[in-house]
Structure 1
Amino acid sequence: MNKLILTLSAIACLGTASAQSKLDQDRTAIKALAGFYKVTFDYAETFSPDTAYKFHDRYHSWGNEWAVIAEESPKKIVIQHLLAISDSMVIKHWREDWVYEEPTMLAYDKDNTWKKVKLAPNNVKGRWVQKVYQVDDSPRYESIGTWTHVDGRHQWQSVSDSPLPRREYTKRNDYNVLRRGNNIYLTQTGWMFEQDNKKIARNEGTDKLISEEKGHEEFTKIDAKAFAYAQTWWNEQKAYWADVRVVWDDVFRTNSTIKLANKLEGKSLYDKLFTLGDQSVKENWASAKNKSEARKIIDKYLNGGVSTAAVK
């Protein structure tokens, strides 16, 4: 009952437009995405222009996920997601940065390649860019949209290209771009991430639609007691990952194109950065060493490389 009262209270605050500016309402809605949740993941293919196409099986999964606000400033809110697998196991999951009136975005092309694009001023005003990152804080996708607060409904919508989702990354090779139709809205017990997606085969600048799918990721608030280990783990690791974010920010700032290798010497980038994080915590590294060591690893996965100068 308490979690429901808290959620309803947050929604009630959003409804008091006279007491909040539009920017304040937006910030309140974004911060309401944080919390302790049971998440259900449901996806089903719905259409294909190819009448001979064989629809893939529906996908269903669930997990306990803690979404914690890692950074907050007037025009930026960083939310880190962590999956609580058990009383002794946690996975640092995806991250979402919400940035207000951001003038540039990383647009996904294909083959683990993102390109920086400049947004027209009239497309930026009053809008939020949601930047979604992989478990190692490398890019996944970015999209821009407007939070709306009408008739008690608080939602944000956008369209964005992205790599294949993790649920199909190792199982499919008939498409290489997922065009996401994102719809995030608050509910009485948490929030919903509803998707209308298109699976696209992109080659030589041409796109071929393979299939469409509907997705629902429902976040329902639950008691925090299931997340005791996740909170302990994050408290130990969060300083290291804050340093990794600084390194990535410098990479994004100094590169117009980001292209990442999938694996080097049989290891993924996340393997290397997670191992580094454990070592940093064990040996109590200073921030400067975290950044220096993380930068060395990230540079190796960047095709073409970037300057390995120390990040200030």
Structure 2
Amino acid sequence: MINLKTILGASLLALACTSCPALAHPPIDAKQAAAHFDQDRADILAMAGNYKVRFDMQESTRWDPAYTPIDKKTSGGHEVVRVIEDTGRKIVLQHILVVKHDGQDMVIKHWRQDWEYEPERVLVYADTDTWKWEDVPEKMRSGRWSQTVWQVDDSPRYGGWGQFETQGGIRRWRSNWTWRPLARRDAVRNPVYDRYLAINRHQNTPDGWIHWQDNTKMGSKDGKLVPIVQEYVLNTYTKFDGYNVQAADDYWAATRDYWAAVRAEWDDVAQKKGGIGIKEQADTGTVISAELMQLANDIQNKTTTTAKAITKARKLIADNTRQL
């Protein structure tokens, strides 16, 4: 016999679950947050080290029937990750690539990630050439960390907030949905999409850590942003010392004061101008990226002083950013 009461109960449960995704990460009470704080910090700090990196990128599902997904692409290299700031509630990790060029070791300052505990707001990618402050909902701040990612010239790339969680015996940090501009790997192809909507996950492994991205590539169609294709990116950082790690540390020792001043200038602009508005140059970062990077090289090569380079960098940033 059909039990109408059972059917009605199941139907009500199904209706209630329309809000289940929002309840998947409910507010964290202060006691629970305090209990996990030290482990959160340890997981973030564990990303520092010397690594062999593999970048694995795959366009998969096409959402636009006129689009043909590109072939899977893998690349790799050697990367040093250093803690350059740790105040307890804020941790800053700087990535530095070491590559071979014409038989010589070449150092390239790479991306930077800032982690902040229980932030009130995050600098996020808002639209072309524009990064704005976005408030974190008050009830979602407790126990959570924001991650802000910066480009090679320390200009912003994307920001988001999320929490550490354990599922299936694996502890990971998972972001909210975040917008980000084109990466160089796509920008050089002049694609029909011009930004990503993504979720990021960071997970420690026995051999290092992984950064997993679920990217929806979005483009403009009839004046509206629409999904073009789905992409999955898995960046694997495996502990490895078999390369010229010292070259990266020497570069940072020579240029860290310069880059500290550059970071401070970007922060000052973001505070005073309501965010950061600057022309993007997707294959390098911003229109001033090459000049800011060259100033650092000049310091290391002793063709300029740190003080002179800082003065030029501040002017470059001031002259190329706008009020939002």
* TM-score, length basis structure 1: 0.84
1:253-292 residue pairs with structure 2 within 5 A? 253-262=271-280, 268-281=287-300, 282=302, 283-286=304-307, 291-292=310-311
Q: Which residue of 1 aligns with 2:78?
A: 64
Aligned-residue identity in percent: 36
What secondary structure sits across from 1:293 in the alignment?
helix
State the Cα RMSD in Å: 2.3
- Which one of the candidate residues 186, 190, 201 is aligned to 1:172? 190
What is the deviation of 1:130? 0.3
1:166-245 residue pairs with structure 2 within 5 A? 166-202=184-220, 206-223=224-241, 225-245=243-263
Q: Which residue of 1 aligns with 2:97?
A: 83
Which deviations, in whole Å up to 9, do the C-alpha atoms of 1:45-102 show, x marking residues without a partner? 1112233321112111101001111111110000000000135310000000001111
- Which one of the candidate residues 149, 152, 157 is aligned to 1:132? 149
Q: Which residue of 2 aligns with 1:15?
A: none
Q: Which residue of 2 aligns with 1:17?
A: none
What is the deviation of 1:163? 0.2
Number of aligned positions between the proteins: 282
Bigger radius of gyration: 2
The residue type equivalent to 1:127 in the other structure is R
* TM-score, length basis structure 2: 0.81
Does 1:299 pair with 2:313? no
What secondary structure sits across from 1:197 in the alignment?
strand
- Which one of the candidate residues 23, 33, 40 is aligned to 2:54? 40
Does 1:22 pair with 2:36? yes
Aligned mates of 2:124, 2:251 — CA distance in 1:
32
What secondary structure sits across from 2:38 in the alignment?
helix
Q: Which residue of 2 aligns with 1:11?
A: none
Unaligned segments of structure 2, at least 5 residues: 1-33
Unaligned segments of structure 1, at least 5 residues: 1-19, 306-312
Task: Report if the CA contact (8 A) 1:47-1:211 is conserved.
Answer: yes
Task: Report if the CA contact (8 A) 2:257-2:306 is conserved.
Answer: no
Which deviations, in whole Å up to 9, do the C-alpha atoms of 1:25-56 show, x marking residues without a partner? 00000001111111111111111223332111
What is the deviation of 1:274? 1.7
Aligned mates of 2:242, 2:320 — CA distance in 1:
37
Q: Which residue of 2 aligns with 1:154?
A: 171
What secondary structure sits across from 1:278 in the alignment?
helix
The residue type equivalent to 1:273 in the other structure is L
